[in-house]
Chain A
């Protein structure tokens, strides 16, 4: 089985994708999986060449056949998600696909229909293979799509003799995060020294601990508030979490992004040096 590292953050916008892309250009033989399926961005830097794509089917969605419907309203009454209006119109993006309406309908007028909820892409990039996905607009099954990206990433890694999968994860602590990290070998939590960054780090660390996955931390923009950086380091020390890297506030990530490059490609100075050191530490210590 290939090793799996997932980059998450709790708080959004701390630099997950920038770092995952940088790791892609530093790793020798890795596959990249983009599990931030509702705001997938890493393809903007890795510029994949598509090799194949497949449709992703989410939960089925209820559909009322008007010819058979007697307008009794039982479906609307029994739907616990409020997906069926008084006028008996189903709102697809609210329907969770539980099928209760079709079970209670006395006229058998409701069927559950297969429903394309997104697409999954297999690609090659200048750094190796990439699996990414696009959740359809207004679709609800991001956890399930994340699991599919994970599954295809593993299959593709095995087929290609790749021993490491690096996953760009979503923000938050809920279903897509859980689907991105469970069964993995290591989680890198990217945080920033702000009250929100620390708060969100603590919560998402608890999630990793809850599922028994080893976590390490990177403090991005550490010099924006050195006091808060010290607080993060103290928290990590108490919890026994390695702080594998501290990156300064810099305009390099945005400049590199505008050029469609990783920070490693764009810069050969101290910033990319710090990212390189962090990667070496991750490889040497936690995921060796």
Chain B
């Protein structure tokens, strides 16, 4: 049928056109009938809760006191944004996002370049590197927690050994904000760098090796080739990887929850929403914080898409 329609494409009569549009209509109907259920359910389970959160955020409402529920409009947002605890969580999240992104980008790029060029052990490396991705985040959190603890861990002992006794065996990593954040970031970097390097490797594969060779022949140094040939050629992949990881890092929850539970000013924005909702059952305030986090994610995505011109649909596939 299609073949016939196509061979006659040049000389369509009016009747055939009407027939074709019938066909197109049928295809349109079938398309939505097949894709519709998935689309509708996806919106129901994601957009509906967000809209409901926006609505709930306008109330002063504790779950234990439903009768006291009162419409307060934007009061929850004003309270949240003027609360030092919110800004502390905001700063903690920001620090984690920036630190992990910088390291992931550098280490991820290095690993991607090694994976791209390595001759042996090529296959083993590409397989082993996926392990952190395959490990449940909570499990990796516990692994790093126990590794850094004084009594059960090996960190302090190894550091003590490699610094020839310069590092104390009894250093308490979870005693302060910065040392706790160091371990949280380390564990986060370990867990997500492989994913980053895979995205970057896919980008590296698109770089024209002839161009690189030409630059080499022209006497460009390694650094010049890297910044002038490789990076510009994989900008799209780089930006997408960066966007994916930023949005992922902003909602960090599992790792700090397992390791510190938010002690020593290590509570992140996501954890703040969680405690406000579940432990304090302040549904109104919890919803307002959830909406704020949601808006932050939207702003980041907007900046990437508009300013850095990350086009997800066309860079996605041709």
Q: Do A and B bind each other?
A: no
Chain B residues within CB distance 8 Å of chain A: none
